[in-house]
Structure 1
Amino acid sequence: MAHGDITHIDIPVADTDAASAFYSGLFGWRIAEIPGYEGYPMWQAPNKISGGGLAPRGDGFTHPRSYVEVDSIDEVLARASDSGGSVVMEKSPISETSWFAVLADPDGNHIGLYEGTTEL
């Protein structure tokens, strides 16, 4: 992936088992938990490219969120703030080699940022 590519989409759910059955039945998505990511079932579309996760619904996370690959989360968050956006969630680790953050654009839309590699 390259800077600016959409990496994945998280869908907030209250019941991961029910959501897994719904989306796999509706769209044919393959949904499974991956070792190291328990409690975060990941989905893959039939094209084997599109995907994301079924994440616990919570405060501030009530709508699907797209994540964008970036070269540097720190730089993008600074540029977003300088351009009228705001930081919703600071850079946080996913693994030893990957991080995520969330920004809001000037209209209040939340966009996730992803930096790193998917290797565990």
Structure 2
Amino acid sequence: MPHGDITHIDIPVADLTRAQEFYSGLFGWQIAAPPGFEDYPMWQAPNKISGGGLAPRSEGFEQPRSYVEVDSIDDTLAKVEASGGTVLMAKSPITDTSWWAIFEDPDGNHIGLYEGITDTAGQ
């Protein structure tokens, strides 16, 4: 995906099993936890493009969060701070080839960033 595309949406949930049943029944989403991420079931919409995860609800993560793919999380977080935003979570690894971070915009919205390649095919 190109820099700036929304690549993923996390939905905070209290009960993973209940949420999987709810969203798969409601929207027809395919939901499964990829190997190595058993506590993080991923959903994919019928269009095979839209997707995200069902993640445990926690303090500060109480509303769905969109993730934007960027060429460089480091460069983007520097621009966030220079533009009046706040880094909530610094760049952190997902896999050996992918990273994420979270920032807050000047209006208080939490947005995730994604950089890299996450390929679970063949695992």
Matching residue of 2:49: 49
CA distance in 2, matches of 1:72, 1:34: 25
Matching residue of 1:61: 61
CA distance in 2, matches of 1:63, 1:113: 16
Matching residue of 2:94: 94
**Please, what TM-score do these two structures have when normalized by structure 2?**
0.96
Matching residue of 2:108: 108
Percent pairwise identity: 73
Question: 3-state DSSP class of the match of 1:25?
Answer: helix
Matching residue of 2:77: 77
RMSD: 0.7
Matching residue of 2:6: 6
Question: 3-state DSSP class of the match of 2:79?
Answer: helix
CA distance in 2, matches of 1:48, 1:92: 27
Q: Which amino acid aligns with 2:58?
A: G
**Please, what TM-score do these two structures have when normalized by structure 1?**
0.98
| Equivalent pairs, count | 120
CA distance in 2, matches of 1:23, 1:65: 16
Post-superposition Cα deviations, 1:4-60, rounded to whole Å, max 9, x if no partner, equal: 011010000010000000000000000011111110000000000000000011111
CA distance in 2, matches of 1:51, 1:76: 23
